[in-house]
Amino acid sequence: MPVDGSQPRPGLLLEWRRAGHLWAGRVVYVAQLRPGRWATVEEWVPAELLSTE
């Protein structure tokens, strides 16, 4: 779920990393951090939360 609590949205997958048997993707997306104020967010997201749809 995006940092602003909204519905999932498109983002750009930059890279993958593996920690033990789990994978995560470094993703950049746009989030509304304050009313009317948008910013780019970069974070590691567990692979099971990422989708190609």
Nearest-angstrom CA–CA distance, 19 and 37: 34
pLDDT tens figures, 4-51: 676 778 899 999 999 889 999 999 999 888 888 899 999 999 999 898
Nearest-angstrom CA–CA distance, 15 and 12: 9
Nearest-angstrom CA–CA distance, 45 and 34: 22
The whole-number pLDDT of residue 17 equals: 97
Phi, psi values for residue 18, rounded to 5°: -120, 130
Q: What is the pTM for the complete model shown?
A: 0.77
